[in-house]
Structure 1
Amino acid sequence: MELLHSPFGSQLGTNYVPSDPDVTQIRQLLTRPKARVDEVDKEIKRITDLLENLQRERQVYSTYINQHEAILSPIRRIPTEILQCIFLRCLPTKHNAVMSSLQAPVLLTHVCRDWRAAALKMPRLWASLHIPIPHRPQKPFAYPSYPTPALPQLTEEEFQAYTQSVQRWEYKMQERRQIVKTWFTRAAGCKLSISITLWEGRRSSAEAEAVHTTIKSIMDIVVSYSHQWKRIEVLASHPHICDLLALPMHTVPYLEHMKVTCNPFSTSPIASGPALYRQVSPTGLLAAPSLTSFHCKLLPESPLSLPVNWAQLRELYFDGAASRSFDGTTLEFTPSDAVKLLRSCPLLVRCRMVVVQNSLFSPPVAPSAFNFSSEDEEHAAPITLPHLEYLSIHEGAPLQDFFSQLEAPILNDIVFTSSIPPYDSDSTSLVTLLKNCGPTVQKLTFDFPCLTVEDIQQCLSLVPKLTHLSLSSNPRERSFVVHQYDPQRISSSARLNNALLARVTPGLIDDGTGRKSVVTLCPKLASLSCKFLSPEFSEDALVDFIRSRRSEAMYRHGIAPLQKVHLCFKRPKQDVDVMKELEKENVDVHGLRVAVTYAHPLHKGVESFSPLLGLAPDALLPYPC
């Protein structure tokens, strides 16, 4: 390419204003370059057209090749038996299959004809189903901003929108009824896993019959397959729960797992007045001959009164019982009740329960330990659970005596929360539990504000094999029942500060003989998870903790390498980046997972210096368009 020279080179790119002679000279100077540009444009067009023709030709050949190579795809030649095994791995693992074309098994029937045929011929693929029944739309209403003797009538637009929403609900329920029927037909004779969520809202008696008829039509289909039930989970109001539990036990010969969650605040669609308590049938569903896993929540019954074959249970989850008056309160389940229940379940492997005493009031003085009455002296013998591996318990009444009786030789996973404030002079119930079972515990979860600092240190000293430690500050758990407290005493809730973290940070000391020894709690710890509602320990202390537990010197002294750290701070992010600090200090982070999250600076209760603080979202500003 010819190098272009310009006599105006020194003026190019400046604010120079050319004279009339210069203008004429510049125009003459550009004549030849403009002609060359036109020639180049024509050549570019020719080459571009040639390139486009070649690209179109290539696309034709590529399409031809791809279509034929698709026929050679190995997935097309996989035997049906292997394909069906792959299909099973596509099913959800944390819940039952859902009625969605975006998830298996329905999704698998939309790929091709062969896959659809294979899926439809596989009953096991259709052996689980989640059935959601949303509440029927309610008639809209609005209170006027001024006193009025009667509520305003619906406008035509409001009535039309309400009618359309009701029609859509009725159509969807009929559609789901047909889906449920078809789904269970495809499952053939397989044992079924079913979960049902039945939401109900308050409605007038005029709407009640239509809603009841619709719900009953779906439930009748589910009940007609009760002889195939293996797992059943139901969230519904008390009347629907009672109807389900009234099924004769001989109709569910294969039922192994049952979860019943009663919604005490939901209004029955067939009840004209307050909900009425109905006693559970002694020969109903709960007496199923093969039942080994039972989970109940807010059922208006004490567990001891339920006709469950406790002696064969391997899993028991009791999350509290609702009051029989359906007023939002809970029934008592005292430590004495817990003793009686666990004595009836010698085969338990997993257990969760909420122990509540005097839940309707706070006594003036809380006892340091629960004392059994003279009638319960026979319960002083040990509670032996030789197969128990997991225990989760919420303490709504002191459990020291209860835990002192417990014998669980292979218990390895404990979750403990409490509604009882900690005091310096009293030892927590968790210490009593760990004195009995601590040597075998590998996983421990507790709400640390319900313990004192001394309690935490003692608990951690009682679990030498601990590998997973999870600490949280969850007021929702502590507010599950009304606290039992002494108004004359001040609680001493622990704070997970730098000093406490230092107790689980390994360090070398001289034992006096010239040899080094390690001083730390939880030498086998591999995973630490903490969630805070206030600032606790610092990032620098965290870096020291991780560095020490990842050092080669500690490995040689028997300290297990830390594998996972998950922390959630309720404060803005600091200047310290934990992983960068570790890498800067040449700490071995291979295989280490560290996740540290912080609250957003604009969250309520979090310090913020944002220049946007106090500004409302645009959608809330009443400015004219």
Structure 2
Amino acid sequence: MSLNDSDDSRAQYLESGIINVHKNDPPSHQGGYLSDVRASLFGHSRPIDKLPFEVLAAIFSWCCPTFNDHYRGPPLSPVMLSHVCRSWRQAALDNPSLWTYLNLTVAYSSVGGMEKACDQLRLWVERANNCPLLVEVEFVESSQRWPAANVFYDMERLVNVALTYKPSLFSEGMELRAALDATSVSPPSPGNYPQVMEQYTWAKTGIRPDRPLRGSVQIHSNRHSEIMFGLEGHYTIGKHLIHLDLRDPGDKIRLSVEECQIALSDFPDLEFCALRIGESTDEVAEPLVLWRLQTLSLSWSDRVEVGDLLDSITAPSLSELELRGPLFPREFYPGNRWTHLPVLLRRSSPSLKLLTLANMDGTTVELLRCLALCQGLQHLSLESCRLDEEIMNSIEVGEGLTHERARRTVLGLDYLGLISCEVFGLNDFLRVSLETPFWEEANLSKLYIINSGFISEDVLSAMTRLPLDEFETDPALLEDLV
């Protein structure tokens, strides 16, 4: 080519040569080389090319999602910027703060889906350098249904990528933790199996995603999965499962007492457990010690006996306990007492802070004895329960160590809720308590007495003047008072 040829001819000649040399490069790379050639041939320069490197990097930082702002740009913005031209690529690669957030959608059962996800994660891990990296993964189903356990193994693969390509990562104290939550999904359509949300987290305990440690990597993932045959598909999660909530909106997940016992034994490190029980069995429950269990919520249907399940559990760390379900008539129990709850509290000796009971008779469940065993209780909620003369008189004037400890527990409460309860002599109890130092000694700040018995106008007026942060009763009563 002679020097007299036109600039256009020279450009076409050089461009064809560049494409031939870089024919194996991605098209985006070729486009970057070609734009550089055109600018040099024709003396063109873009205004952005005149910006100092630091300014260009600052502009890029506002175009890319980060660990504390996921919406500054599309998930793969750093890659897109690095493919424009050589100068932009250098600016993107020299700025680790652009690589602090990665969002992946993985068709986990498709061919090559996980390989692509691992490659993208490796790229971000290497380029983030000492900046923190937050990874969020959404596992989605392909057309073929696969066992639920596959996702757990895929999550382990992602963790291994982070450990392999970031050897400086201080991973001590980082746990792979899992949760199954049915409350966050919509009710299934007729004929479908109920679903749960599977959530997996690999991070240091107690570290918030938006406040990571320098040089750290956090991986959070989730997916919806069907519970087809109980929990069998999830048992491989084992000790990694810390949160189990199967209270689905459609109320279709109902385990037997035996299935509940199997689940608790297969997930020994549970910290939160909420289950609905649909039937009881005659199987002998094996003893279970759940050292980390902090919250236990059990609800059950009519004619279901959960006493054997409670008798099998020892939970020293229990701080919140919720029991919702009708008990058999008194004559079914020795001495007309359902002793399983106080026995659980005595055996575990937990530092219980919250107790909720629903659809129970306070005498049958031995409420006074339970309160005596919960000296640190802060929140007591009774719903559709019956508090008879024995309980009300014992709280007011009962003598003996059990009564004194129960009274002390009531005085130490911060919250008391009586919702749709049958309370013997409620108005008289409140009247007498107002004439004694009871409310002065009490720590109560929130009191709810709703649909639980008659309250006279003078007693109600005095109650509204108590130094409570919140006091709520039947709206009709308050209207009459006004």
The TM-score normalised by the length of structure 2 is 0.53
Is the contact between residue 470 and residue 530 of structure 1 (CA under 8 Å) also seen in structure 2? yes
Hey, what does 2:310 align to over in structure 1? Answer: 403
**Per-residue deviation at 1:457?**
3.3
Which is greater in Rg?
1
Q: AA paired with 2:406?
A: L
User: Is 1:565 paired with 2:447?
Assistant: yes
Hey, what does 2:241 align to over in structure 1? Answer: 313
User: Is 1:383 paired with 2:259?
Assistant: no
User: Is 1:433 paired with 2:344?
Assistant: yes
User: Is 1:302 paired with 2:206?
Assistant: no
CA distance 1:452–1:182, shift in 2 (3 Å): same
CA distance in 2, matches of 1:564, 1:549: 18
CA distance in 2, matches of 1:405, 1:470: 25
Is the contact between residue 447 and residue 470 of structure 2 (CA under 8 Å) also seen in structure 1? yes
Hey, what does 2:416 align to over in structure 1? Answer: 529
Question: Quick one: which of 324, 343, 361 aligns to 1:451?
Answer: 361
CA distance 1:404–1:242, shift in 2 (3 Å): same
The alignment partner of 2:406 has SS state of: coil
Is the contact between residue 355 and residue 394 of structure 1 (CA under 8 Å) also seen in structure 2? yes
Question: Quick one: which of 267, 280, 289 aligns to 1:345?
Answer: 267
CA distance 1:386–1:190, shift in 2 (3 Å): same
Question: Quick one: which of 488, 492, 495 aligns to 2:386?
Answer: 495
CA distance in 1, matches of 2:454, 2:62: 51
Hey, what does 1:414 align to over in structure 2? Answer: 321
User: Is 1:266 paired with 2:177?
Assistant: no
Matches within 5 A, 1:345-364: 345-357=267-279
CA distance in 1, matches of 2:460, 2:474: 13
Q: AA paired with 2:294?
A: E
CA distance 1:551–1:394, shift in 2 (3 Å): closer
The TM-score normalised by the length of structure 1 is 0.42
Q: AA paired with 2:227?
A: L
Cα-Cα RMSD? 5.4
Question: Quick one: which of 131, 135, 154 aligns to 1:250?
Answer: 154
CA distance in 2, matches of 1:278, 1:413: 27
CA distance in 2, matches of 1:311, 1:259: 13
Q: AA paired with 1:451?
A: D
The alignment partner of 2:283 has SS state of: coil
Matches within 5 A, 1:136-155: none
Matches within 5 A, 1:17-416: 123-127=66-70, 182=74, 189-190=100-101, 249-250=153-154, 253=158, 256-261=177-182, 263=186, 265-266=188-189, 275=192, 299-319=227-247, 330=252, 333-357=255-279, 370-372=281-283, 380=286, 382-396=287-301, 397-416=304-323
Structure 1 stretches lacking a partner, 5+ long = 1-115, 128-178, 195-219, 268-273, 323-327, 359-369, 374-378, 474-493, 584-588, 602-607, 609-625
Hey, what does 1:153 align to over in structure 2? Answer: none
CA distance in 2, matches of 1:300, 1:240: 15
CA distance 1:433–1:193, shift in 2 (3 Å): farther
Is the contact between residue 389 and residue 412 of structure 1 (CA under 8 Å) also seen in structure 2? yes
CA distance in 2, matches of 1:495, 1:193: 53
CA distance 1:548–1:385, shift in 2 (3 Å): farther
Hey, what does 1:542 align to over in structure 2? Answer: 430
Question: Quick one: which of 374, 385, 395 aligns to 1:504?
Answer: 395
Structure 2 stretches lacking a partner, 5+ long = 1-58, 79-97, 106-112, 122-133, 160-175, 204-218
CA distance 1:578–1:600, shift in 2 (3 Å): closer
The alignment-based identity, stated in percent, is 15
The alignment partner of 1:393 has SS state of: strand
**Per-residue deviation at 1:383?**
0.7
Is the contact between residue 502 and residue 545 of structure 1 (CA under 8 Å) also seen in structure 2? no
**Per-residue deviation at 1:371?**
3.0
The alignment partner of 2:255 has SS state of: coil
**Per-residue deviation at 1:294?**
9.9
